[in-house]
């Protein structure tokens, strides 16, 4: 995991850092003590930054090339891109800029979190949801459609920041990071307006047969340890993501990703039963290896399926080790 901690009272040093960390930009301010602090944690497709700016800092920046989401905690951010002025305050989570366009504005004595990922992940998750459009997914608005969506998006960023990319000591592993990135992208699509549509095609229902299900189950069981999403499963069995979803719903009463999660839980259960707790192996390590970044949620899921805490399974308590 990449970790960066920047702190400066110099506008020149801050401009150089921000230009390196984000995109070339010019900044300005009118105070002598222009304190800025940025801490970054990044791994795989995700980066999360915590920023604190103690003055009114104007900026004129180039395109980011990434989806950039901002959660405001204190102060305000004023977006002036294209001559329009939009003010964001505490409690709001929003898209800072289109990934391929420059942006301008001002941060006013603010604390906020930035989460970034590659725009291609939106295409991947849109395909996973059976959505379609005339081209790559494009977000058409900066604010969530509803207040519930705003809260959901803020919570997703906080989860990535606090549970997945908090520090190197608790880093959950690449599979967990990839799963968290997919979750964040899915929440973005569920919260912000965009260009995709979800109308089903006739070919999707035609291909949603039991043979599709069997091939998909086999692929998932063989590849559960890898970073796979619904689109990868659909490609492997040569159907559309929507057809794959229909097949699981009709013949298995679940979703492809729900089945993948169940297989990974079973593998984690087997690893817990086989592990030696006296060798330093932990529940958190095993959970993270199988893509479960949040140990508390893993424990709750495990208990709901196996009827006991995973820590007891690791110690071989309450059931025969197998």
32 in any annotated domain: yes
Domain boundary among 72, 98, 118: 118
Domain boundary among 98, 118, 138: 118
The whole-angstrom separation of Cα 17 and Cα 22 is: 8
264 in any annotated domain: yes
The whole-angstrom separation of Cα 80 and Cα 105 is: 5
DSSP state, residue 194: B
Domain boundary among 96, 118, 140: 118
The three-class DSSP label of residue 202 is helix
237 in any annotated domain: no
> What's the predicted TM-score (pTM) here?
0.71
185 in any annotated domain: no
24 in any annotated domain: yes
The range of the structural domain enclosing residue 10 comes to 2-118
250 in any annotated domain: no
pLDDT tens for each residue of the chain, 322 residues long: 899 999 999 999 999 999 999 999 999 997 777 899 999 999 989 999 999 999 999 999 999 999 999 999 999 999 999 888 999 999 999 999 999 999 999 999 999 999 999 999 998 888 766 555 557 888 989 999 889 989 999 999 999 999 899 876 677 788 888 889 999 999 999 899 888 765 555 555 566 788 899 999 999 999 999 988 888 898 899 888 888 888 888 888 888 989 999 999 999 999 999 998 788 889 999 999 999 988 888 999 999 999 899 999 887 754 443 3
| 65's tokens | 């090339």
Provide the number of structural domains found in the chain.
2
186 in any annotated domain: no
110 in any annotated domain: yes
- Determine which helix (DSSP H) or strand (DSSP E) holds 197, and give its type and residue range: none
DSSP state, residue 137: -
How many other C-beta atoms can be found within 10 angstroms of the C-beta atom of residue 206?
A: 11
Q: Could you list the beta-strand ranges (E) of the chain.
A: 2-8, 25-28, 36-43, 46-61, 67-79, 86-88, 93-95, 103-117
């Amino acid at each position: 995991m990449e970790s960066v901690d920047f702190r400066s009272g110099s506008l020149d040093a801050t401009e150089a850092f921000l230009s390196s960390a984000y995109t070339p930009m010019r900044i300005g301010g009118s105070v002598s003590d222009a304190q800025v602090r940025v801490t970054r944690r990044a791994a795989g497709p995700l980066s999360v930054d915590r920023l604190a700016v103690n003055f009114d800092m104007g900026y004129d920046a180039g395109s980011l090339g990434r989806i950039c989401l901002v959660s405001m905690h204190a102060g305000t951010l004023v977006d002036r891109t294209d001559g329009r002025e939009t003010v964001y305050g505490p409690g709001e989570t929003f898209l800072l800029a289109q990934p391929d366009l420059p942006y301008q504005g001002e941060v006013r004595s603010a604390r906020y979190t930035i989460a970034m990922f590659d725009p291609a992940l939106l295409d991947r998750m849109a395909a996973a949801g059976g959505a379609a459009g005339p081209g790559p997914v494009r977000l058409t608005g900066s604010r969530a459609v509803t207040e519930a969506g705003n809260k959901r998006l803020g919570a997703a960023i906080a989860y990535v920041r606090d549970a997945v990319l908090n520090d190197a000591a608790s880093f959950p592993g690449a599979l967990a990071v990839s799963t968290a990135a997919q979750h964040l992208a899915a929440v973005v699509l569920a919260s912000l307006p965009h260009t995709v549509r979800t109308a089903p095609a006739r070919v999707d229902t035609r291909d949603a047969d039991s043979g599709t299900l069997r091939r998909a189950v086999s692929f998932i069981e063989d590849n559960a340890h890898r970073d796979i999403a619904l689109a990868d499963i659909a490609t492997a069995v040569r159907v559309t993501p929507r057809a794959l979803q229909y097949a699981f719903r009709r013949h298995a009463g679940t979703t492809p990703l729900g089945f993948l999660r169940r297989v990974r839980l079973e593998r984690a259960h087997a690893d817990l039963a086989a592990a030696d707790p006296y060798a330093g192996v932990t529940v958190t390590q095993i959970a993270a290896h199988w893509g479960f970044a949040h140990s508390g949620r893993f424990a709750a899921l495990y208990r709901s399926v196996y009827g006991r805490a995973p820590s007891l399974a690791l110690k071989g308590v309450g059931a025969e080790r197998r």
